[in-house]
Structure 1
Amino acid sequence: MTRDIQTTSTMRKVLIGSGVAAAIAGGVVVAAADLAFRFALDAGSRRTMRERLERLGVELPADEDCPQTPEDIADADWFDESRQPITTTSEDGLTLHGWLFDPDCAHPADHLYAVCCHGYTGEPAEMARYAHRYAAMGFTVLVPAMRAHELSEGRYIGMGWLERRDLMRWIAMITASDPEARILLHGNSMGGAAVMMAAGDPSLPRNVVAAIEDSGYCSAWEQFLGAARSAYHLPAWLATPFVACISLICRRRAGYGLRDASCLRQLRHTTIPMMFIHGGDDDFVSPTSLERNYEACSSIDRQRMLVPGAGHTRGAAVDPERYWRKVGNFVRRVFDLH
């Protein structure tokens, strides 16, 4: 009888000890997830977004990896000299800023518009080379600043999910001023994700004729899961609950969960012509995303291009001739340009 009581007491202590240890471990995971959320998605953090990424151990593409060419300098100068400020309001009341550019050619076609979306931690100026190319093809070009980036208001980054609705507001502004508008969407990285998610949105206006995404990921969930394993060095069994905790915090504070931001799911509803581009040496968003996004796309008119040797969003810099030949052929065909 005494031995049974001792055994029961020992088991109770073990269970209590295990419960306390689990609670402590759970508290550590929650605290770490909160820190990761604030670093990665809360623009109200004291550090800049680039500093937050570097603190997480994420290596961003370095400008010195692709030295500026005379054409890059000309694109940047054109961007600074030609831009016209423009604003709209998001569905949740934020003032969104952007830059508008007139066509940069002698005989622009009527009703052509291109919207170029920058990536995570970026700014509109990084889209100068793309904006200039489309302007030279006769497009009026809009380069918005994503929410919580550059001049646009907002505290939380939407990983393309919230930004897809912001993109709809920009599109609505264009069509309100020109009901005959024919619109091209082009996005890099998170901008590419926003474009893919918008392309599969049931409310996408018919004015949007085609979309191009460069270096976009498959989903925010997968991006964070990969970062948890590479930046935090978490084992697989711990990475999933860690990211799930980040997702819960994100839903409570920013209004969406990481699984919501899925390009794969949205692309299953896409009908417009799509072009998918990725660098073969991208170590920020896996090149496998190219094939997976391409296969998920339900459009019968879709193309893909892998740029060997190119890092994240570096396809146009590493192999500009092939890049713009492919993109130019796609755009001219879809928009019937000569």
Structure 2
Amino acid sequence: MKKAKRITELAVPALTVTGLITSAEYLYRYAFKRVPEVPPTSADKQKYADQYYAYVDWLHQQPTQEWYLNEDTAYQLVATYVPAEQATTKAVIIAHGYKGNGETMANYAKMFHEMGYNVLLPDSRAHGHSAGKYITFGWLDRFDYLRWVDDLIKRLGQHSQIVLFGVSMGGATVEMMSGEEMPSQVKCIIADCGYSDIDDELSYLLKRTFHLPKYPLVPAVSFINWRRQGFRLKQVSSVKQLRKNKRPIFFIHGEKDVYVPTAMLNDNYAATQGPKEKWIVPDASHAESFWIDPAAYRTHVAAFLNRYIENPS
């Protein structure tokens, strides 16, 4: 609340050049700078806390491995690997949400593990145990996850069957991956509540949360990010990437999502060029679709996967 109040107070100074620089810098740090720990979940999902920690406990009890990209610790990326109970070529890479980490996806990891998959849980840049000072909202992460794909293939073999799965920022990450050239071992994608592009998402949240207009703050934040990370916010687009996608993709979105509005699902769905399905979950808020009914969620996911993944062991 203090940070939200501070951003709102900066709206008036933003009318001056000096004020704009100050406000944009504060907003940039608020939105892009890594945090030392995972923030508390939203109030509407506090009721799932006991279930959530039970999934985390399950993950801690598994015979996991730590995988790494980059030997230089200043750029090192870390992932947790959960091998399937029976040897299989099936694997899923699970991309976590904004300011989360691989551990926060333990519920999805357990679901896929019970379906017989090897599971890889990366920490994205500037999250968890991975290096990085600033969050890239999936844009640079997409290249990191492509390297995780290559790593899986090296370890599991050329007959690997890989699923890309992500929620929220992770959903956008796998959507953005879809526009890149990927190995044939990547068979399909599941994106839960991913945004259409970060420029629109940031503008939407700025207005909804702080009652501030897009201009001039968002362009100023974009300029700061270009100077620090080498890309402008307009580039960070699931829609543009999905227009190049030919792989099957399953979109999931909560009907009552006010963090990433359902209209963004429609934009993403319209953009993709491959086989596509969507499921709008009644009464679900942002990233709540699994928690409302885990059994129904698993049923929908399994039905999609059964169309594209074979089951050799």
TM-score, normalised on structure 2? 0.88
Identity percentage over the alignment?
30
* Cα displacement (A) at 1:23: 9.9
Q: Is the 8 A contact 1:60 1:284 kept in 2?
A: no
Partner of 2:65 in structure 1? 84
The runs of 4+ residues in structure 1 deviating greater than 4 Å are 90-93
Residue identity opposite 2:70 in structure 1: T
Once the two structures are superposed, the pairs formed by residues 165-244 of structure 1 within 5 Å of their partners are: 165-177=143-155, 178-201=157-180, 203-235=181-213, 239-244=214-219
Q: Is the 8 A contact 1:212 1:276 kept in 2?
A: yes
Partner of 2:128 in structure 1? 150
Specify whether residues 90 and 276 from structure 1 end up closer, same or farther in structure 2 by C-alpha distance, changes over 3 A only.
Answer: farther
Residue identity opposite 1:180 in structure 2: H
* Cα displacement (A) at 1:194: 0.6
Partner of 1:66 in structure 2? 48
* Cα displacement (A) at 1:39: 1.3
Q: Distance in 2 between matches of 1:275 and 1:321?
A: 17
Unaligned runs of 5+ residues in structure 1 are: 1-21, 52-58
Unaligned runs of 5+ residues in structure 2 are: 1-12
Task: State the Cα RMSD in Å.
Answer: 2.5
Q: Distance in 1 between matches of 2:96 and 2:79?
A: 11
Specify whether residues 149 and 81 from structure 1 end up closer, same or farther in structure 2 by C-alpha distance, changes over 3 A only.
Answer: same
Partner of 1:135 in structure 2? 113
Partner of 2:28 in structure 1? 37
Partner of 2:253 in structure 1? 278
Q: Distance in 2 between matches of 1:263 and 1:313?
A: 18
Q: Is the 8 A contact 2:124 2:141 kept in 1?
A: yes
Please, which moves more after superposition, 261-270 or 307-316?
Answer: 307-316
Q: Distance in 2 between matches of 1:318 and 1:283?
A: 16
TM-score, normalised on structure 1? 0.82
Residue identity opposite 1:68 in structure 2: D
Q: Distance in 2 between matches of 1:321 and 1:62?
A: 20
Q: Distance in 2 between matches of 1:92 and 1:189?
A: 27
* Cα displacement (A) at 1:230: 2.1
Q: Secondary structure at the match of 1:275?
A: strand
Specify whether residues 100 and 49 from structure 1 end up closer, same or farther in structure 2 by C-alpha distance, changes over 3 A only.
Answer: closer
